Amino acid sequence: MLGSTSRYRRELLTRLRIPFSVTAPDVDETPAPGESPRELALRLALAKAKAVAALHPEAVVIGSDQVADLAGQPLGKPGEHDRAVQQLRQMRGQTVIFQTALAVVCLATNFEQVDLAEVKVVFRDLSDDEIENYLQAEKPYDCAGSAKSEGLGIALLESIDNDDPTALVGLPLIRTARLLRQAGVKLL
């Protein structure tokens, strides 16, 4: 079961060819005072998995969250155009770590594991026109840090460094597969 409202995570999970349903977790995503982007992503991924597991105690539940980390400051989903412009202006010419956390929980078996993929992304020194053209084309207002590398957003970047190629999109499938196997889910 996927505890997420993200269409990106839903699309990624279908790659594993396992049956699953989706339940929206009821979790407040407000950062705690002094909470680092890494801590925030891990806390929210686990909270989402636990919230859905409480409703479906027999299910193996996947929760995930992604936070863009710009020099220790969390950048979440912009929600609207002006905030996306602001985020991309902050990130131009900078290295941003996308913290993609994953939790797998099954209450019936007392299984609970978390993992984190850190994706180092170097943004080009973007012009205001490039930012505006990108936002008009992609409208990535539901993506942490306003960037969608799986589309035109790849043109915003100098480089991506990670060990799990789907982590930047929102669900690190290598780690997901490992945790699902540990929880007893047969994948192949």
Positions marked active-site:
65
| Beta-strand pair 157-161/111-123 | antiparallel
* Nearby residues of 38 by Cβ (< 8 Å), 6 or more positions away: 67, 69, 99, 101, 116, 118
Pair type for strands 2-3 and 61-70: parallel
Contact by Cβ (8 Å): 80, 65: no
Residue pair 100/177 in contact by the 8 Å Cβ criterion: no
Length of the chain: 188
